[in-house]
Chain A
Amino acid sequence: MMTLKELAEKEDLLTAGHGLCAGCAIFPILKVVLRASQYPMVVSNDTGCLQMTTSHFPRTSWKLNWIHSAYGNSAAIVSGIEAMYRSLKKQGKFPLEKELKFLAIAGDGAANDAGLGPLSGAVERGHHFVYLCLDNQMYASTGGQRSSATPMGAAAPDTPASDALPGKMQARKNIARIMTAHKIPYVAQSAPWIWQDLYKKAERAFETPGPAYLNILSPCPFEWKTPTRKTIELTRLAADTCIWPVYEVKNGTKLTINYKPRQKLPVTRWLQSQPRFKHLEQSENKWIVDKIQEEVDKDWDYLLSAETEPKHRDN
């Protein structure tokens, strides 16, 4: 098991001096993920907060090869880079002994919405890469609008809560299940509070031959309007309420739940922690809270029933 000290001693490939907001989960997540590859990596960054705050010309926060081109295509870009790597290696134009890893990074907007086609295409083709989705459940860089990963009941600037409409009325797209259905070698969901799990999964993703998908909860204190010091704690609450289960699936079938809360907390604890759900406290919106609880229970029960390789409770 990697200790925090050992982790800290590894080289920082994303340096300080970036412009991410205070309390943003992206940076702590990447501190862990970027340390999990034993080989140099190339990053294809989708448009979003991370890309904008780390590549402001003439500075860069990246100490590795990095490219950004547009919104929604990071998986297609990385498939080009990875194919070129294979081609040059095959032709003897690139040292055979030298190994590189490829990482696409996108927000939930890019992964779930505009970039879902390119993502699906790239994993179907079987490129050797890791796709990291930093899921803050909305379009944060454009001001917090809803994405298809925004949970039901959340208020967003384009689905505001009013008497007529209590926030977003559609359920969140379950991208981890969508990726699992592609039967790719590795799909995992984790969060920064359980960093050893996150590290292990990132390491496994990099080592997996073929495509791997990491879905990581990444709170956005700026848009969620939560205290910056609560970021990591919130991701634990998400796991304890089963809003954000921590699990992994190998080859589309071997499912392991890596964290099972001793006591499953009600979703109201999660909803009450964020002003975007404030309107759900009104009695006429109770049906939405019930509905959210019902859906969370269903998803959790599904995972429990689908688990093929249970692990011992370690919390």
Chain B
Amino acid sequence: MHRFWAVLFSLVPVLGIGLYVLAVVGKGSIGGFSLAGLWLPENANPYTTTIDHLFDLVHIICGVVLGITTSVLAYVIWRYADHAGRKNEAAQYVTHHALLEWIWTVIPGAILVFLGFYQLQVWADNKMNRPMQTIDGNIQAIEPMALVVGKQFGWEVYYPGPDGRLGTSDDLRIENDLTVPVGRPVVLRVEAQDVLHSFAIPGLRVKQDVVPGMTQLVWFQVDKPGTYEILCMELCGWGHYKMRARMKAVAEPLDGIANGSSTEPSSTATPVADEEVKD
């Protein structure tokens, strides 16, 4: 019987790591369900490729640790379980082993400290260092191109109107529809009107909780034209699941409402790829 349990426990590292590998490789299928598309979705944001890199790195480290520890667990059951065959074999009397303990304190500790410092730059790039641009020889932080306000249950997008400034009476508002340019840094101001929401775009690895009474900035760059989903990722009430918007990344110059040249959305239904860009 102990062999049975040993085999069961050995499934933990085998399947645990195996399924991950299959998912990363994105091939094969289980029970008719394809494993493709189970890992990180495509990332179109160059600011966050390092996040994907960290995600993979930590998974590799963790996978190694998982493999070692759970394999040992399965092995001890196989080897050391009490059964009729080892009636005369007593358990070893070992209370501690200083060297071993130092090894498994220092090595994981070193790895963890390394991870801690290794990630700081990525954190800073995404949450602290707002992208800069050069205007007339002066380097300055990029100003937000639009204001996105979360409310129950949707995202209101405000573009500066003809005067080019946010927060004036000619601002143009549209629900759940954001248009941004491709290939250059975009800064958005995000706010909440009523309760907590979270401005999240999984396809760009962007996420920022928005808190009523606070103003936050998010920035990213979209390198691939297309349509992305903006989701709310902080429980905001019964309609939480309904709260999603569309973000279209198009080549410049923007047209329609995003450019302040029209009061109607540039196109309500046509996919971006088919869209003719006009002046």
Q: Do A and B bind each other?
A: no
